Structure 1
């Protein structure tokens, strides 16, 4: 970790756009210890077994035919940054194209510094990621495990490493099941994201696009929680409780940054989505819940998330 090199990369940001993405990657990596991915034979086979078992169990309980992505990687923090920097750049492209051009040199340094800070913070905390590669050419998906972060959090929470790793694998594979059940989902999320970001680039707020995006992601996170409850071969409330306690124990600056990155919203999506699907399953079954992925029109509306009986009546 070299903070001087990180600052130098930011202050040396150049190019014609408002963000120097090469400098973003250089600064984030310089500020972040990559961590080790020297896995023991048991850890190597453990990741493979967990993903394979998760695929079989999630297929069984959901009735959804899907496969895990061709790309399944055990990464260090720098690997994860490399895998995600292109997504950051694609998402921000409309703002770069249409954004204000006031004091471009100064703005470029500030924007580059902000994005590198966000990338470094996420790179230090992401445990696993199912990546549908939104806004990318082609339809490839990927599954990542950031081994140094998994190791660190395992130690901080004082939990069994094999069980914790398996829990993460099951959670990420549930997302693969969702996108496997709904081939249209990637395109749907891309359209809503592009609409919202392009409006921001023109100084406007497309509230409807962001509302639709939030509603869809609430369904994604809630259904994943439902499948976890049904598929994971152990209780995991103690793991969830320890992670929640860790979040609540963060210092005020860390909590502020989490809010800025929308991580608090993600937790709300988990909880709201889980409540919705629990109601659906209790009134019907998992097969009924899976119908949410048949077509975009089957996604719950914002109102239906709080009133699942209305979604059941409509669908």
Structure 2
């Protein structure tokens, strides 16, 4: 970790020519806040990553009955690679807020905003294991979606959890490819999520000066949270039921890892919404497990046929109501 690099980048952000966030400074400071990690792999490990992804694709297709393609871009990354990819994502998503935001001391505000974003990205870069990226709000000239594995974090988590690296790596591949299955089964899903993100962020940005935007943004984010609960919960169920090895110990240890952490880590988790994300995993997984147990996994997969099949908030607590309405 190079804190000098981080501090210098944030200090320089005040002199950026425009914008409430200096994204170049964010990337530089976030990289100073975490080591990149080791990306050196023998040919056998590279081949194993590729085999894990192909096995996940085939297993998930067979278990769910959903036909889907793998992302055009599948990358094994270190932490700094992940930061670069996600700086672009955050820049796209927060663009409406940047256009409307201002301040009495723009240079100071820019440094604070840039520093906050850098701390967030550095923390995430040290913890993210893998990521399916549908590239929401991306331009038409960009690739449709991507799949990333952060090798240093997967190896570190395997050691922390005291599980074999090859089996853990393969299980994480099943989780991330499960997201590819969801988006492949639901071509409408990227547009649905984009609309909620744009509505929510747009309402927040207008709320700087327009009375009443808060209710609109809350509704958009409520719908977004409901959809993401379905996305995370279905992937949790599918990865387990399609996995070609034992996973009970992996599930128990990973769930404990999500709940655990030292006080500083837990504070950052709360600030970054990790509690909400864990609840999405748990609530969504409980719902889809109940549907699959009462019917089967293919019934659970009906959720991706059309937007109207997404569970309503109250149906997450009453899977039978969803089955009666949809199946």
TM-score, structure 1 as length reference? 0.97
Matched, 1:310 2:321: yes
Select the residue among 25, 28, 38 that pairs with 1:26: 28
TM-superposed CA distance for 1:247, in Å, is 4.1
Matched, 1:15 2:25: no
Q: Secondary structure at the match of 1:83?
A: helix
* 1:59–1:160 CA distance, 2 compared to 1 (3 A): same
Q: Secondary structure at the match of 1:12?
A: helix
**Contact 1:222–1:269, Cα closer than 8 Å, also in 2:** yes
Instruction: Give the RMSD, CA atoms, in angstroms.
Output: 1.3
Q: What is the aligned residue count?
A: 315
In 1: Cα distance, 2:109 partner to 2:237 partner:
44
How far does the alpha carbon of each residue in 1:127-162 deviate from its partner, in whole angstroms, 9 at most, with x for none? 111110111013610000111111111122221010
In 2: Cα distance, 1:243 partner to 1:294 partner:
30
The answer to which of 152-161 and 87-96 deviates more is 152-161
**Contact 1:221–1:270, Cα closer than 8 Å, also in 2:** yes
In 1: Cα distance, 2:181 partner to 2:256 partner:
29
Q: Which runs of no fewer than 5 residues in structure 2 stay unpaired?
A: 208-212
Q: Secondary structure at the match of 2:127?
A: coil
Q: Secondary structure at the match of 2:17?
A: coil
Give the corresponding residue for 2:160. 156
Q: Secondary structure at the match of 2:21?
A: coil
Select the residue among 171, 174, 182 that pairs with 1:170: 174
Select the residue among 259, 268, 272 that pairs with 2:283: 272
TM-superposed CA distance for 1:235, in Å, is 2.6
Q: Give the 4+ runs in structure 1 shifted more than 6 A.
A: none
In 1: Cα distance, 2:58 partner to 2:259 partner:
34
TM-score, structure 2 as length reference? 0.93
In 2: Cα distance, 1:110 partner to 1:254 partner:
20
Q: Secondary structure at the match of 1:45?
A: helix
How far does the alpha carbon of each residue in 1:206-255 deviate from its partner, in whole angstroms, 9 at most, with x for none? 21111100110011111111212220012322123223333444111210
Select the residue among 90, 93, 96 that pairs with 1:94: 96
Give the corresponding residue for 2:3. 3
The 5 Å alignment of 1:1-315 reads: 1-13=1-13, 14-138=16-140, 140-203=144-207, 204-205=213-214, 206-315=217-326
In 2: Cα distance, 1:261 partner to 1:107 partner:
20
In 1: Cα distance, 2:240 partner to 2:88 partner:
33
In 1: Cα distance, 2:269 partner to 2:73 partner:
28
The answer to which of 177-186 and 251-260 deviates more is 251-260
In 2: Cα distance, 1:287 partner to 1:244 partner:
25
TM-superposed CA distance for 1:282, in Å, is 2.2
Q: Secondary structure at the match of 1:124?
A: helix
In 2: Cα distance, 1:251 partner to 1:35 partner:
22
TM-superposed CA distance for 1:58, in Å, is 0.2
**Contact 1:21–1:89, Cα closer than 8 Å, also in 2:** yes
TM-superposed CA distance for 1:15, in Å, is 2.4
**Contact 1:223–1:277, Cα closer than 8 Å, also in 2:** yes
In 1: Cα distance, 2:251 partner to 2:64 partner:
22
Q: Which runs of no fewer than 5 residues in structure 1 stay unpaired?
A: none
